[in-house]
Structure formats: structure tokens, C-alpha cells
């Protein structure tokens, strides 16, 4: 059974930093494309970042230069380092499997972790 | 403002059919067949319902179907059931850098 478990969400002041983690079981994160998707309160979903199996990364324009996605293969975990946080980054952040063997869609999701940016 | 346009809400009575539209552009929905739909119950993570425009994952009822014409994708739910009441989000591949775009979500109410 595949499980993705996010952690690290918290209340942080504007300009602050936070590191989210997504611990995976049932899949090997380094063999998959792994994405972060966020949902602001009462809003739709927004793709944030992807970490390709080969190690390359992509980011939404809204977070480029501020967020960094990475993985720890020894812990089968994906991280999202978020710096220079803004009020508009307030959202539930989901970790999701993005692609496996050329099949691209979000088939597995974590339960989400809430990030609140406020003074 | 979301990249893909969905109606904010739709409704239907049990047993009826409803269709939710998702309008994009020639750069996303119109250019790729990687269109997917997600069901989201309140306070829960999204659940994959349709992928590659028309495909259903194992375990998703056949009442759920997807289609696409030009830059507009659609999700049809036939034989509505009370448990179908939820938010539905469409998603499309949009190229290497943008990667994925979503709609703003549609709230389905079963009357």
C-alpha cells in the first residue's frame, strides 16, 4: 500500500522559512516524479514544484527562487524548503506522485500539511 | 485566478447526470491528452477519478466518464448518488516549465 505522509506545516511570519517533508512508503521516491501541490483556503489546487527521477526540478513562477524541492533517498522522503514566505503562500500543501514510467497524473496524495503565513 | 476555467457549482438530483466543463487553451488542454479529474471531499486530499482524458483508475465507478473537445475537457457523472457530492478539480499538462495547471474547482451538490 502506498502512503505519503507530510509534516512540517506551521504558523510562520512573513519573510520566514519553513521546511516541509513527505515521507513515502510503498513507492521509491527516486524512481518517480514527485510534486508538491497546494490549496489556499477556499481556493482551487495549484501545482508548486516537481522533482524528476533524474534529479532535475521545476517550479511554478509564483515560488521560483524562493522554494527548493529535494529528496533524501536514505529516508525515502521529499522535502520542500520554503524561504521568503508571503501571506499568499498560506495553503494546505500536498505531496503527490506525479509520474511513473511515462504515466503522468497524481494518483497518490498525502493528507496535506497546513502552512499559515501571518504576523 | 486559475489557469483552467470551471463552473463554480453544478447540481443534480439522484439518478440524474451532470457534466462539469473545464476550459483551457491551445497550450494546455488543447495540446495534450494528459487531462485528469480529482474528487475532493471536505477536509480530505484529492482523489484521482479520471486520467488521460477518458481513463478510469481501478475502483472508480463506471458512472464517471471523461471527454475532450478542442480546449475543453468534461467530466460526466451519470446516475448521481449522494456520495458524489464533493468538489471536482480538473488538471492538464501544460508543458515542461509550467508542467501542470488546474481549474478553480466545481462544487457538486446532489439535491
3-state secondary structure chain A: CCEEEEECCCEECCCCCEEEEEEEECCCHHHCEEEEEEECCCCCEEEEEEECCCCCEEECCCCCCCEEEEEECCCCEEEEEECCCCHHHCEEEEEEEEEECCEECCCCECCCEEEEECC
User: How many interface pairs between A and B have CB atoms less than 8 angstroms apart?
Assistant: 56
pLDDT score at A75: 98
pLDDT at A29: 96
Q: What digits encode the pLDDT tens for the residues B62-95?
A: 999 999 999 999 999 999 999 999 999 999 999 8
Q: How close A69 comes to chain B (CA, Å)?
A: 15
As beta bridge partners, residue A34 has A51, A97
Query: Using CA atoms, how far apart are residues A110 and A113, in angstroms rounded to an integer?
Result: 9
Residue A45: list chain B partners with CB under 8 A.
38, 46, 89, 91, 102, 105
pLDDT class for B1, splitting at 50, 70, 90? Answer: confident
Residues of A in contact with B46 (CB under 8 A): 45, 94, 106, 109
Side-chain-side CA neighbours of residue A49 (13 Å)? 23
Is there a contact between A30 and A75 (Cβ–Cβ < 8 Å)? no
Query: Chain-centre distance of CA A91, in angstroms?
Result: 11
Q: How far apart are CA B96 and CA A58, in angstroms?
A: 8
Taking residue A71's Cβ as centre, other Cβ atoms within 10 Å add up to 19
Taking only the tens place, the pLDDT of each residue in A55-114 is 999 999 999 999 999 999 999 999 999 999 999 999 999 999 998 888 899 999 999 999
A60–B98: do the CB atoms touch at under 8 Å? yes
Interface of B with A (CB under 8 A): 2, 34, 36, 38, 44-48, 51-52, 57, 89, 91, 93, 96-105
Given a cut of 90, whether residue B98 has pLDDT beyond it is no
The confidence score (pLDDT) of residue A117 equals: 98
Position B2 scores a pLDDT of: 76
What is chain B's mean pLDDT, rounded? 96
The pLDDT value given to residue B40: 98
How far is CA B44 from each of CA A102, B10, B38, B93, rounded to the nearest angstrom? 27, 20, 12, 23
Residue-level pLDDT at A45 = 97
By the 10 Å C-beta count (0-12 exposed, 13-18 middle, 19+ buried), A51 is classed as buried
Residue range B23-42: mean pLDDT, rounded: 96
How does residue A49 score in pLDDT terms, banded at 50, 70 and 90?
very high
Q: What does the pLDDT average to over B11-16? A: 97
Amino acid at each position: 500500500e502506498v502512503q505519503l505522509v507530510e509534516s512540517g506545516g506551521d504558523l510562520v511570519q512573513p519573510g520566514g522559512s519553513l521546511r516541509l517533508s513527505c515521507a513515502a512508503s510503498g513507492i521509491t521516491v527516486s524512481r518517480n516524479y514527485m510534486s508538491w501541490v497546494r490549496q489556499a483556503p477556499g481556493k482551487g489546487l495549484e501545482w508548486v514544484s516537481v522533482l524528476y527521477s533524474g534529479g532535475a526540478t521545476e517550479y511554478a513562477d509564483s515560488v521560483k527562487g524562493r522554494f527548493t524541492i529535494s529528496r533524501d533517498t536514505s529516508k525515502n522522503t521529499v522535502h520542500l524548503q520554503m524561504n521568503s514566505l508571503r501571506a499568499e503562500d498560506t495553503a494546505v500543501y500536498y505531496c503527490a506522485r506525479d509520474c511513473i514510467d511515462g504515466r503522468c497524473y497524481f494518483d497518490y496524495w498525502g493528507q496535506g500539511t497546513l502552512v499559515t503565513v501571518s504576523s | 485566478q486559475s489557469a483552467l476555467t470551471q463552473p463554480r457549482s453544478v447540481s443534480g438530483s439522484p439518478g440524474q447526470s451532470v457534466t462539469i466543463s473545464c476550459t483551457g487553451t491551445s497550450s494546455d488542454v488543447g495540446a495534450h491528452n494528459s487531462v485528469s479529474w480529482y474528487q475532493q471531499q471536505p477536509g480530505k486530499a484529492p482523489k484521482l477519478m479520471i486520467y488521460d482524458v477518458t481513463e478510469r483508475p481501478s475502483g472508480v465507478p463506471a458512472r464517471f466518464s471523461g471527454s475532450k473537445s478542442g480546449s475543453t475537457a468534461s467530466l460526466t457523472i451519470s446516475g448521481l448518488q449522494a456520495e458524489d457530492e464533493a468538489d471536482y478539480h480538473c488538471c492538464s499538462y501544460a508543458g515542461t516549465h509550467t508542467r501542470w495547471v488546474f481549474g478553480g474547482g466545481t462544487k457538486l451538490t446532489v439535491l
